[in-house]
Amino acid sequence: MSTQKATGTQKQGRMMTGAEIFVRSLVAEGVEVVFGYPGGATIGIYDALVDLSDIKHVLVRHEQGATHAAEGYAKATGKPGVVLVTSGPGATNTVTGIADAFMDSIPIVVFTGQVSLPLIGNDAFQEADIVGITRPITKHNYLVRDVKELAKTVKEAFYIASTGRPGPVLVDLPKDVMAHKTTFHYPESVEVRSYKPVVEGHPKQIKKAAEVISTAKRPVLYVGGGAIQSNAAPELRKLAETLQCPVTTTLHGLGAFPENSPLAMGMLGMHGTWYSNVAVSYCDVLIAVGARFDDRVTGKVEAFAAEAQKIHIDIDPSAISKNVKVDVPIVGDVKRVLKQLNEMVQRLDTKDWLATIQQWKKEHPLRYRSGDAIRAQYVIQKLGEITGGDAIVVTDVGQHQMWTAQFFKWIHPRSHITSGGLGTMGFSLPAAMGASFGRKDLPVISISGDGGFQMNSQEMATVVEHKLPMKIFVINNGFLGMVRQWQELFWRRRYSHVGLSNPNFVKLAEAYGCTAYRVEHSSDVEDVIRKALAHKDGPVFVEFVVEQEDNVYPMIPSGQTVNEILDMPDPVLKPSNGVPEESLMTVVKG
């Protein structure tokens, strides 16, 4: 007997179970993909999904993978990612991904099954207080106690997740509520009391910012992920080019401003470029756009851009002057504020300032040693050259993450996806999977270290099942590389539990049914990257066996200032540690 697939929201006004109302609410919300894993508490919901063709359900192999996939989908598309899991361990397995989304302001909505209302608090089978557990790491969360409130709750969840400063929202769904019946009405809009995001910047503050900018001789635009979240790349580029102002980005801001522009300085912070950090240190006006002055950027707070007047544009009022006191705060949507600001500013006289920065770029470029062993930096640089920046690159956490941020030239918004604030190893593979479901216009490339890859490698099964045309690159140095680097530099090279005994990654990938390559020589790197990019019939896996003991430079040690910046020691080239030489300082201060 065939089952007729229902589409759309034509069922409004009919009596339905909570499970049916839930799935039709997702349809009404425009949800295209759900990443999930069924269980006893959600079995009614999964039964209701059988009769629905509007939504693609992706069966992951672990609930943490579901949350990271939802994050990758959200970051790549700008639309909320959706997760559906069962109660107890199903719910608790989502916690890391929820915390990751909270730290990085990623809009996801996580629906968790729950035991029936009368059993809550009785230590029932597979019961967990997921609302209490996730309260500190969600924008808001709900326990649905009445089926009549279900549709409205779903609407509110998506509204809260995707407005203001985006973030995760969790909705807990008791099993009996999903079985209860009521009439289905999905609201066209909702209004949440006490939640009123400010999107329009105050005109007087924007005018004041324009006045401060007009006095600048050494301005810098410091751009964070908020510029990408608000789709403000065109307005940002117009502002930078109008002012002739150099631009540096945070890890999450990469792609907001094209790095093929002469105004681009790349990433700043602990592992940012030498010249971006020095430029921020000596700028006289710092324009922070959708950034939060986190510790990996500022180092020693008292010394960060100490000579600059600081303008801060952010939609989250709690982020203003939270870490660094600013002179001109502007609360509002970045895109809208920049559009107004662009109407008030004029070109600045920055010729000498730009010439100085250009000199710094020549004297202190990003660099690495070459030789017989493959360098991870070389792999990433070649990947950037071959793709021309036309790719969505999803990194895990560690040395490869920083090298990718440094050596891949970012051109497009939403082309760089990574775990920043929480620093979650195991992020890349499932997040790239989520991005692949959301975007078909660009190749999706996952880059992981050998440690991080193994934390969620089970999602290889999901990737292969759906024949996603992903490129999965593993940078294998046999170490937990970033921890090893810190042990080398700051702990007298006492390597404590950082060496990895790895499986045969190629055989593992092939066991999942994936085409796989192993690269051990630099001369083979370019050829294999081209083969991988040309592979269209499902995923392809490539292991690059790289130099084991390599460090990420530049590096500003934690809590230090630009004066303590470490650059790559080199027996031939003069080390480039520290602040600019006196001859350059004259130009800077001029």
Q: In what order do the strands lie in the sheet with 515-519?
A: 416-417, 392-395, 444-449, 471-476, 540-545, 515-519
Q: How far apart are CA 42 and CA 19, in angstroms?
A: 9
- Active-site residue, 479 included: no
Which residue in the list 103, 455, 470, 482 is annotated as catalytic? Answer: 482
Q: How far apart are CA 418 and CA 397, in angstroms?
A: 8
- Active-site residue, 175 included: yes
Nearest to 402 by CA among 418, 389, 384: 418
- Active-site residue, 257 included: no
DSSP 375: P
Residues 477, 546 contacting (CB under 8 angstroms): yes
Kindly give, in sequence order, each residue whose CB lies less than 8 Å from that of residue 164, ignoring residues fewer than 6 positions away: 195, 197, 315, 316
Please return the burial class of 507, using the count of CB atoms within 10 Å of its CB with bins 0-12, 13-18 and 19+: exposed
User: What sections of 439-581 are H helices per DSSP?
Assistant: 450-453, 460-465, 481-490, 505-511, 525-534
Which residue in the list 5, 125, 241, 549 is annotated as catalytic? Answer: 125
- Show the tokens assigned to 420: 């920043």
Please return the burial class of 97, using the count of CB atoms within 10 Å of its CB with bins 0-12, 13-18 and 19+: buried
Residues 41, 405 contacting (CB under 8 angstroms): no
Which residue in the list 22, 29, 35, 63 is annotated as catalytic? Answer: 63
Which residue in the list 175, 310, 335, 471 is annotated as catalytic? Answer: 175
Please return the burial class of 7, using the count of CB atoms within 10 Å of its CB with bins 0-12, 13-18 and 19+: exposed
- Active-site residue, 363 included: no
Q: How far apart are CA 198 and CA 315, in angstroms?
A: 7
Q: How far apart are CA 12 and CA 10, in angstroms?
A: 6
- Active-site residue, 63 included: yes
Which residue in the list 11, 12, 32, 126 is annotated as catalytic? Answer: 126
Question: Hey, which residues are catalytic here?
Answer: 63, 125-126, 175, 482
